[in-house]
Amino acid sequence: MRRGTNLPRMGDFNQSVILEAIRRSVEGLSRIELVEATGLSAQTVTNITRRLLDEGLIIEAGRTINGPGKPRVTLRLVAESRFSVGVHLDPAVITFVLLDMAGAIVRRRIVRVAEQDPRRVIETMALTIDALLDDADIDRRRVAGVGVAAPGPLDAERGTVIDPPKLQGWHRVALREVLAEATGLAVIVEKDTTAAAVGEVWTATSPVDDSFLFVYLGTGIGASLVREGEAVRGSSQNFGEVGHIIVDPEGPPCLCGARGCVEVVCTPQAIVERAVDAGVFDGDHAGGDAQTVEERFTRLSERAGAGDPDALAVLRRAAADLAVLVCVLTNVLDVDRVVLGGPFWARVSDVYLEDIPGILDARSATRSVRTIPVAGTVVGDDVGAVGAGCVVLDSALTPRASDLYLDR
């Protein structure tokens, strides 16, 4: 049965609504403005802002005289009252960020992973997080937790990664549990794609009920969805596994038995292989490990940018293939707009943003009703780590209607 709600639930929810309104306002808000923004009564706003002031989450920051009557007191977020740590676990490199409550990066570290033994990797993660907090001189009681963005699929119930590409020996490692024990902090493990979408919501100035599809260009290609400001995670928190969607019926065969899947056509590795075949690297046939792929992907995009027609043709072909995936997903999910991002995004953004919107416009099922805008992420290359930190802030601070339901 569905659960009802009651007064204490309502109070907590309204407190989150007010904190969110203040956080999202760049200049701060007065109590009168909060009444207008949230629809709550003046009395409720006064009571709740008093509580937020007492907890040190907001501060009174100046008075504005605006016509006759009492001057208005501006309430502003105390960004450094709460923090979170975001970790992006990627095959070759682990990125760490310390975020304040506004989602701004306070500290950042990169660790290259030569070691593949999961226990040692998690140990390194814990030591790096310690160092990050010590360096910033932060009271751990003000750290809401650690978010880890990892490649999917995940076993969310156990907080484990199942089979991260290129991280051998990571079968069913209890990442959440072991890292929580090693750091003494609460840990959330989230798919990198979902984390990226949460980062996009948390740091953007878009409306609070923003809805978009996020297509993530990492070692693999993934998708995530934000609906009315909330990431859609799916039943097992594995939303957005798109690797075996067929985008090119003439494409190369895939291990799954089909051909032209996203996995063998749209990933950096697949694009680099096409570039090798097209002679972009002048007969250089070195191995396909993560670092070589990344270096070659960078060279490919630099050559395309410098006007090399072969390199450009490879990227335009990749853009067209990705556009088919974007069409499949927008047709199924029916979203307002599309955001492209992830660690490999910046290197292809010019070519992709030139080609993908037109293809989407021509093929969208709702093309006669509306155009679906396509844009690049506002977060940048660190979207995985920043997103992971934002997942922690979002989980602790964002109001959710579902929080109103009474417990069982």
One residue of 206, 237, 292, 349 binding a second copy per CB under 8 A: 237
Which residue from 52, 98, 97 is spatially nearest to 76, judged by alpha carbons? 52
Q: Are 280 and 324 in contact (CB under 8 A)?
A: no
Q: Distance between CA atoms of 299 and 62, rounded to whole angstroms?
A: 52
For residue 240, state whether it binds a second copy (rule: CB under 8 A): yes
For residue 221, state whether it binds a second copy (rule: CB under 8 A): no
Find the part of the chain contacting a second copy (CB under 8 A) among 4-12, 101-109, 126-134, 275-283: 4-12
Structure tokens at 105: 């990066």
The least CB distance from residue 15 to a second copy, in Å, is 9
Interaction mask 176-215, a second copy, x per CB under 8 A: --------------------------------xx-x----
End-to-end, the C-alpha distance of the chain in Å comes to 10
Find the part of the chain contacting a second copy (CB under 8 A) among 62-70, 76-84, 283-291, 358-366: 358-366
The least CB distance from residue 32 to a second copy, in Å, is 14
Q: Distance between CA atoms of 86 and 394, rounded to whole angstroms?
A: 12
Find the part of the chain contacting a second copy (CB under 8 A) among 294-302, 332-340, 347-355, 387-395: 332-340
For residue 328, state whether it binds a second copy (rule: CB under 8 A): yes
Helix, strand counts (H, E) of the chain: 12, 14
For residue 327, state whether it binds a second copy (rule: CB under 8 A): yes
Find the part of the chain contacting a second copy (CB under 8 A) among 175-183, 197-205, 264-272, 365-373: 365-373
For 61-85, the DSSP string reads: EEEE--SSSSPEEEEEE-GGG-EEE
Find the part of the chain contacting a second copy (CB under 8 A) among 100-108, 143-151, 238-246, 313-321: 238-246
Structure tokens at 97: 């960020």
Find the part of the chain contacting a second copy (CB under 8 A) among 81-89, 91-99, 237-245, 307-315: 237-245
Residue 382 makes CB contacts below 8 A (sequence gap 6+) with 88, 95, 97, 105, 108
Looking at the Cβ atoms of 229 and 342, the one nearer to a second copy is: 229
**What letter does residue 369 receive in the DSSP assignment?**
T
Q: Distance between CA atoms of 351 and 375, rounded to whole angstroms?
A: 12
One residue of 69, 249, 283, 287 binding a second copy per CB under 8 A: 249
One residue of 110, 127, 256, 286 binding a second copy per CB under 8 A: 256
Q: Are 79 and 104 in contact (CB under 8 A)?
A: yes
Looking at the Cβ atoms of 186 and 333, the one nearer to a second copy is: 333
306-325: contacts with a second copy (CB under 8 A) = 324
Looking at the Cβ atoms of 112 and 368, the one nearer to a second copy is: 368
Q: Distance between CA atoms of 408 and 190, rounded to whole angstroms?
A: 26
The label of the residue with tokens 């090119």 reads 248
For residue 393, state whether it binds a second copy (rule: CB under 8 A): no
> With b meaning 16 or more CB within 10 Å and e meaning fewer, what string describes 169-194?
ebeebbbbebbbebbebbbbbbbbbb
The least CB distance from residue 8 to a second copy, in Å, is 11
For residue 244, state whether it binds a second copy (rule: CB under 8 A): yes
For residue 168, state whether it binds a second copy (rule: CB under 8 A): no
List the alpha helices (DSSP H) in 204-338: 262-265, 268-277, 290-305, 309-333
For residue 366, state whether it binds a second copy (rule: CB under 8 A): yes
Which residue from 202, 200, 199, 189 is spatially nearest to 236, judged by alpha carbons? 189
For residue 32, state whether it binds a second copy (rule: CB under 8 A): no
Looking at the Cβ atoms of 3 and 120, the one nearer to a second copy is: 3
One residue of 81, 124, 331, 349 binding a second copy per CB under 8 A: 331
The least CB distance from residue 135 to a second copy, in Å, is 35
One residue of 113, 221, 315, 335 binding a second copy per CB under 8 A: 335
